[in-house]
Structure 1
Amino acid sequence: MKMFEYMGKEIFSKYGLKVPKGRMVNNPKDAALIAKDIGGAVVIKSQVLSGKRGKAGGIKFADNPEQAKAAAQEIFEMTVQGHAVEILLVEEKLKIDKEFYLAITIDLAAKRPVIIASIKGGMDIEEVAEDYIIKEQIDVELGMQSFIASDIVRRMGVTLNSPLGKELVRTIRTLYRIFVEIDAELVEINPLVISGDKVIAADSKITIDDAALYRQRELPRVEERTVVEKTAHDLGLSFVELDGDIGVMANGAGITMGTLDTITYYGGKPANFLDAGGGTGEEGTAKALELILSRNPKAIVINIFGGITRCDDVARALASVKKNIGIPVPVVVRLVGTNQEAGRAILKEVGIEAYDFMQDAIKKVVELSK
């Protein structure tokens, strides 16, 4: 579960990390009032679950309440990285002497937390050369000891006995404590701002392990799914909206990912990820097809390798949707496995021919989508 920036900063503040003075607003008038309360220049920041908000125009600066109101109005009327803006964070504009990057996440290969730090924080952190990136795996039994945090600060080129060095050590240890106690997959501060003698978390990015949410009852819940994705989830289907025009349904996460990759390989663009799972049955398959059609694709590919999923159930569902609802776009089917001959016979009755091989079916659907 991803958390909005302001939620992350509330957590940081609770643990004693410094964050900019600011408040949430949901209309331009309140943005002006908060700017007046803060006094001086402010930053107006869209609250969406996406990175690179600044480049997308979702972060603006204002020198007075009138400018803050105008900037807020402008952001509310835009979409940022495909997300409608419903809330803004209005906060003080910091005097920035230096920007660092600091994050803790999971190194899946090592099966350990890893701390990542850099003396070059801010936008385009992904493009920073490896020479400026510090990575240190953490033994979960040992935890974030002071000597580990001190070594990271030393490698960042900061004097340990200085006020800044001591504050950075404290910040690193606190960030690790947050990471562990809220069951995070990622805790990130970018940039970590040095402003005079203060170390301030100017931004926050936190992702919580979904499997641990049951024991994190005090954390706010954030619904990341679109309306269609939520509908699919309620039906027990794994569905993710993408930005292409070829609807996809397959029966398993691996085969679905393989289908998406193969569509891309042959020059197409998938409109969705839909794993109908094993044993979805006729009714579930029909509902899955209706979800795909709601995205208005140019063509649909159905890739079924039947084991628990019976090919005749899939075929009956497809035939039912075509007869009762109608399918206004071309449909290409790859259907092999359990009861495949019966399934193919059903499809043939409604004018759909099934392919033996995934590559052949996908070549055809990409051709039809164009």
Structure 2
Amino acid sequence: MGHPGPTWSCRQIVGSAFPPSTGRRNRAIAAGTGVAAPPEEENDVRLHEYEGKAILRQAGIDVPAGAVVAAAQAVPAAMQRLGDTVVVKAQVLAGGRGRDGGIEIVAGPERASAAAAGMLQRPCRGQIPMELLIEQRLEIATELYAAVTIDMERGRPLLLLGLGGVDVEDQARTGNLPARLVVDPLTGPSTGDIAELVRTAGAEPAEGITNVLRQLWNVFISRQALTVEINPLAVVADGGVIAADAVIELDDAAREMAGLPLRDDGGSVRRERSGGMTFVELGGDVGLICSGAGLGMASMDLISEHARPANFLETGGGISRELMSRAMRRVLACHGVKGVLINVYGGINPIHKGALGVADVMATGVGVPVVAKALGNHQEETWEVLEAAGVTVVRDVATEAAVAVLLSQMRERTA
């Protein structure tokens, strides 16, 4: 039926295997087993769907073919290997995306690109998407819900399996699904336990679903997760079992252990390291995009003399159209941002290509002044692209001049 799992021990799960600061996950399990828990600290972190699916794929669970894009212009290229009909999905850290226009099934590159452009310009569940997941459309015969989570009161993991649908997530979190298995964290579920859960749910094909649940448990343990959830778990026409969605919640410390970007969505400061850029949200009103940490820190110091930086963002060494488009949207998504300073230097960086990404975002109507100091490789071409897009270009080598122009424009907007 299923693949036999490893033998779990108290030390492996709730004893000395605790990494430092693994948060409420292991505190809850420790409370249920009588083992001393680690100190209380760190926040819980929900991964984006594409991040969760990458983890599931590594564990041997099938996921739809897909591509992550940060600009509508990238959609046609992605569709060349995904087919003519695709699912466009906003990557935001919230459920209920389909009910808020965050999931669309579209046919043809033009319609898919238009859907992507619209999604990148409007909030979904109160968040502006920075990225979209473009996936092949599945021919789904049956939808199921599968999850491993924690009963925080009992301090016991729960394996859940039931019919899929938009409301099943809320049912699962209250423990009301008809098919559930309370798991001893010291031993884990046996293959027989999982097979019985599948029989109770009446799910078919039993062997394929049993295998997925075993791998789901392995992800839950290996990633120190709070929740690993697939809704829907799709059974397709040929009997294959595919994770059509993925929700994984980790402690912050577990996220670091997994080598994933840092993100703290619950606090005033957010840190992300992904897609070639480093981002820190700081809560001020002047957005900042720079092409290096040193240039970024110097720019922040100058901004701080007269205003408060909204963020720190450095692009690293690989400026591209897509990266700069993503950087612009990330900065504009900062709460309270009233202006954006772009300060980039092109040694070998193709800053003229990055300027196209800035222009893409400007074309959507940003609503705040944007000032750029862009010097070096292809600088004249860069200036032309930026100015045509409505960006104020400062050709002075001193960053102070660019900061002064931006602050002046911001004051004019509020006068």
- Structure 1 segment 165-314 matched on structure 2, within 5 A: 165-196=206-237, 197-214=239-256, 216-225=257-266, 228-230=268-270
Structure 2 partner of 1:307: none
Q: Distance in 2 between matches of 1:85 and 1:213?
A: 21
CA contact (8 A) 2:263 2:270 kept: no
Structure 2 partner of 1:56: 100
CA contact (8 A) 1:36 1:65 kept: no
Alignment length, in residue pairs?
A: 227
Match status 1:89 vs 2:133? yes
- Shift in Å, 1:36: 2.7
What whole-Å deviation, never above 9, does each CA across 1:181-232 have from its counterpart, x for those lacking one? 0000000000000002100000000011234445x14233334246x3559x
What whole-Å deviation, never above 9, does each CA across 1:29-50 have from its counterpart, x for those lacking one? 1112212321131000000001
Q: Distance in 2 between matches of 1:99 and 1:157?
A: 12
Structure 2 partner of 1:73: 117
CA contact (8 A) 2:255 2:261 kept: no
Q: Distance in 2 between matches of 1:166 and 1:55?
A: 33
Letter of the structure 2 residue corresponding to residue 221 of structure 1: L
Structure 2 partner of 1:150: 195
- Shift in Å, 1:140: 1.2
SS in 2 for 1:37: helix
Q: How large is the RMSD of aligned CA atoms in angstroms?
A: 2.3
SS in 2 for 1:80: coil
Q: Distance in 2 between matches of 1:127 and 1:181?
A: 25
- Shift in Å, 1:143: 0.8
Q: Distance in 1 between matches of 2:221 and 2:261?
A: 17
Q: Distance in 2 between matches of 1:60 and 1:198?
A: 23
Runs of 4+ that moved beyond 6 A: none
Structure 1 partner of 2:36: none
- Shift in Å, 1:132: 5.3
Q: Distance in 2 between matches of 1:182 and 1:132?
A: 24
- The one of 107, 122, 129 aligned to 2:165: 122
Structure 2 partner of 1:22: 66
SS in 1 for 2:98: coil
CA contact (8 A) 1:36 1:64 kept: no
For structure 2, the residue ranges without an aligned partner over 5 or more in a row are: 1-44, 272-282, 284-334, 337-415
What whole-Å deviation, never above 9, does each CA across 1:163-182 have from its counterpart, x for those lacking one? x2111111111000000000
SS in 1 for 2:94: coil
Distance 1:221 1:122, change over 3 A: farther
SS in 2 for 1:52: coil
Distance 1:140 1:126, change over 3 A: closer
Match status 1:32 vs 2:73? no
Q: Distance in 2 between matches of 1:88 and 1:110?
A: 38
Q: Distance in 2 between matches of 1:94 and 1:191?
A: 11
For the pair shown, the structure with the greater C-alpha radius of gyration is 1
Letter of the structure 2 residue corresponding to residue 137 of structure 1: V
SS in 2 for 1:105: strand
Distance 1:178 1:131, change over 3 A: closer
Distance 1:217 1:123, change over 3 A: closer
- Shift in Å, 1:116: 1.5
- Shift in Å, 1:101: 0.2
Q: Distance in 2 between matches of 1:8 and 1:178?
A: 10
TM norm structure 1: 0.58
Q: Distance in 2 between matches of 1:127 and 1:107?
A: 14
